[in-house]
Amino acid sequence: MNGYMLIAFFLLCVAPALSQVNVLTANYGNRRTNANLNETILNTANVNPRSFGKLFSLPVDGQIYAQPLYVQNVDMAGKGVHNVVYVATMRNTVYAFDADAPGGSLWRVNVGPPVPSSDYNFDDILPDVGILSTPVIDLNTKTIYLVANTVENGKYFYRLHALDIRTGQEKFGGPAEIQASVPGTSIDSQDGVLTFNAFQHLQRPGLLLVNNTVYIAFGSHADTAPFHGWLLGYNAANVQQQVYAFTTTPNTGGGSIWQSGHGPAADEQGNIYVVTGNGYYDGSSEWGETFLRLTAGAGLTVADWFTPDNWTNLNDVDNDLGSCGPVLAGGGFILSAAKDGKIYLVDRGGMGHFQPGNGQIVQSFMAASAGWIFNLAYWEYANGPIVYIRGFNDTLKAFRMTSGRLETTPFSQISTGGGLPFDGMALSASGNAADSGILWLTTFVSGDRSGKGILRAYAAADISKELWNSEMNGVRDSYGNLAKFAAPTVANGKVYVPTASRQLVVYGLRPLIRQISAVLNAASGSVGSVAPGELVTIYGTGLGPAQPTGAAVNSSMRLSTRVAGTRIFFDDQAAPILYTSSDRVVAVVPYVVAGQGGTEVTAEFQKRLATPVFLSVADTAPGLFTMDESGQGPGAILNEDGSLNSPSNPAARGSVVVLYGTGEGQTDPSRHEHELATHPLPKPLHPVSVLIDGQEAEVLYAGAAPGFTALIQVNARVPAGVTPGSAVPVVVKIGGASSQGGVTLAVQ
């Protein structure tokens, strides 16, 4: 970064740090694409066996089937500001963990006794059924909504909870027992009323939050009759208030909304989309084996639908259409895949209802010959959207979309595969950039029904290239047993993997040995004593994130001392940070070092410290910014008209030039290093003078640069007797110290 660019950087410092992503709902958003397109740290170059791997694990009390959720910069009520990962277990416990470091939870809450798996005759989800679905977070109200399955005194319940993400305390009237009744004549109805039966239903899909309503979907326990598909809506501001109740088969049976855990989808207009499983269809009130678009008004109403013409066969052989759930793809399509091995592409603008041949607005084809597709991911890649799927005893495949249709032959696939496709799947990328796209897959090592899992990373633009997997480095990166269908969460350089081994395992770029190699004046590049309020550049290894990150400013316009997991300490005082990366940090020396003979500086990244370095402290340590980072040559100096001084744009003798530097020491009035300078502008306690071509220049102003911190601005008049030239030497003296030699000014 050259001097001029550094001043430009100062102009950007008051902006928030580079954007990070929050993961607030299942499948990364209401479109349910399984894709995080704001991942700027991990890419195909740095995810490899040398630099990527397991960082730590977070123990919990049960299996994790819900996708972990992630929120950055949460004020944890007396415990400081943290990036937080929220984990819900099958023991009905919710945890809030610091997302960047191992350790105990920031808070944990248990919401009731789970149901023993044996009560439902499960043989693969053991030993409890508690919080099975992925919660949803409302960032505006700082609330996490979740549904817990409990058994109490021999009775079975589902309850909707609303917890404060900062404390875990219940709010908005929670918990609310989930109950519902609708008109119906099915075998389990009574007097024309069908009542929701908590014991007969499984709450598998992730929760949906749209238009201040929390939607909860239900299916069956392995098709154990009687059951129905239910979609219930609750007021997010008062969870005791049920506002919608809809069932897919009020007069018959079946029609589960289970979707292998994928949440119901919602578009920008608030329309809700689900895909149902085995059940009866009549195109009027019974909606088994159907894509549904629902609108919320006086009630939940079926506004449009698509039912394949072979729905009866799907029903007869247990080939649920709704095994994947809906993905809202670009171009106005709904994308899904089914247990029969087909991919479906349905036009949202006119879904086609039921018609022989399925109409022209629907595309379907066999993508997995043995069927059993339970998961997919969708990436709007620069060269055309890509759909990723894997079926039973099949390889992972990538299908490309061109001109609104899917190519029926995969353009890329892995060379090996097989086993049960109980995978979790996620895609991370920075937009549609090819070198950033990574497809993450959790699957069984051996293909068994349960057992050890493996996390794999593939280049998303060509999945035949495996970048890394958790078995490449032996046991170092292993994570335990696979949690069926549970998606990993990729956020801000880390991959959070839920497991059936009672732990959340966290992967990321493995830290280098943290070491400070040098501390320099950020303007001059000089090594030496530091002064209070000086801007310094700290060089080393493992100091910060792989992706450079700029300053963060809070609502009080104060610079943060923690940026992207990096902190710098002078003795015990945390310093404001203006820039951080793996090998360089720009920070402000705290004013509390004034009067000390020396100070010990250290760097912390992700709560791991570098070896401290001792520096002497001076009253002042002036340095001038230059046009390159050498600290030599043309200064970063403005002419009187505000233009940049250069040999082609010299300053006139007698005109005023503006110099920028740092290291002026203490000021009057005193200032805090976190604060951006405002009126009255602080001025150095020590006298300031300027020499241009060895001649003393008139100093018109020497003080803080408005709107900045650690930056001194000196306005000086070029002496009339200066000899013109393109490299006239300039020196600033503050107190008994001078800025570096070799800085020049162009004068005509």
Could you read off the pLDDT of 518-532 as tens digits, one per residue? 899 999 988 899 999
> Do the domain assignments include residue 630?
yes
Q: How many CB atoms lie within 10 A of CB 260?
A: 23
- DSSP codes joined into one string, 357-416: GG-TTEEEEES-TT-----EEEE--TTS-EEEE--TT-EEEEEEEETTEE-SS-SEEEEE
629 shares a domain with 604: no
Spans in the chain with pLDDT lower than 70: 1-20, 447-450, 512, 555, 629
Among candidate residues 37, 13, 160, the one with its CA nearest the CA of residue 552: 13
> Do the domain assignments include residue 737?
yes
545 shares a domain with 641: no
Distance of CA 20 to the CA centre of its chain: 6
pLDDT score at 671: 83
C-alpha to C-alpha distance for 735 and 733, rounded to whole angstroms: 6
523 shares a domain with 501: no
469 shares a domain with 416: yes
384 shares a domain with 500: yes
518 shares a domain with 547: yes
476 shares a domain with 406: yes
Q: What is the 3-state secondary structure (H, E, C) of 649-700?
A: ECECCCCEEEEEEECCCCEECCCCCCECCCCCCCEECCCEEEEECCEEEEEE
> Do the domain assignments include residue 472?
yes
C-alpha to C-alpha distance for 71 and 16, rounded to whole angstroms: 16
Helix (H) / strand (E) containing 427:
strand 424-428
728 shares a domain with 612: no
Among candidate residues 748, 687, 739, the one with its CA nearest the CA of residue 718: 748
| pTM score of the predicted model | 0.74
529 shares a domain with 498: no
pLDDT score at 552: 85
Which structural domain range is residue 518 located in? 512-616
Contact 89, 58 (CB under 8 A): no
Among candidate residues 409, 410, 401, the one with its CA nearest the CA of residue 378: 401
Q: How many residues in the chain?
A: 748
692 shares a domain with 595: no
pLDDT in tens, 35-72: 999 998 899 999 999 889 999 999 999 999 999 999 99
Q: How far is CA 676 from CA 13, 621, 682, 705, in A?
A: 10, 20, 11, 9
> Do the domain assignments include residue 339?
no
670 shares a domain with 575: no
Dihedral sign for Cα 507, 508, 510, 515, please: negative
> Do the domain assignments include residue 13?
no
> Do the domain assignments include residue 581?
yes
* Last residue within a domain, chosen from 616, 636, 662: 616
Residue type, 520: L
Number of domains in the chain: 3
Q: How far is CA 630 from CA 28, 375, 586, 740, 745, in A?
A: 45, 54, 16, 11, 16
Helix (H, G, I), strand (E, B) or coil at 540: strand
C-alpha to C-alpha distance for 385 and 615, rounded to whole angstroms: 54
> Do the domain assignments include residue 183?
no
Q: What is the CATH number of the domain that holds 532?
A: 2.60.40.10
* Last residue within a domain, chosen from 616, 649, 671: 616
C-alpha to C-alpha distance for 24 and 31, rounded to whole angstroms: 13
> Do the domain assignments include residue 94?
no
572 shares a domain with 695: no
Q: Tell me whether residue 636 is exposed, middle or buried, using C-beta atoms within 10 angstroms of its C-beta: 0 to 12, 13 to 18, 19 or more.
A: buried
Distance of CA 722 to the CA centre of its chain: 57
* Last residue within a domain, chosen from 572, 597, 616: 616
C-alpha to C-alpha distance for 135 and 112, rounded to whole angstroms: 16
Among candidate residues 132, 6, 233, 98, the one with its CA nearest the CA of residue 484: 132
